[in-house]
Amino acid sequence: MNKFYLLGNLVKDPELTANKEDAKKSFARLTLALPKGNDAVDFIDATAFGKVAETIAKFFRKGDRILVEGSISTFKKDGEYPRLVLNVNGFEFCERKKENKGSEPKENQVEDDDLPF
């Protein structure tokens, strides 16, 4: 059985390559950082296809945590060593990267002192 579940953070924004003629042929490339402990990290390349690819590209950004499910395959370009690639079949949303690290409220946030009650 060739099935893997990996929990990690996206190293960069997913790169979606859309096919306007056939949405099932769209794909997204992503790289996951998987902490090993002792400040060591593994980097895993993954590829998602079709609606899964489009959804990942729409909702995930660099630094976001994602749980992916898929199978492992090898990929080789001419003159290069074979690489392992995770073919993503599904995913789960996990915690998002915190974007507002400062204590200042965003423009559309309301302070408690501004409320009439």
Judge whether 14 and 64 are in contact, CB under 8 Å.
Answer: no
105 CB-near residues (< 8 Å, 6+ apart): 111
Domains belonging to the chain, first-starting first, are: 4-97 (2.40.50.140)
Can you give the pLDDT of all 117 residues of the chain as single tens digits?
A: 889 999 999 999 999 998 777 766 899 999 999 988 888 999 999 999 999 999 999 999 999 999 999 999 988 888 888 888 899 999 999 876 665 444 444 444 545 554 554
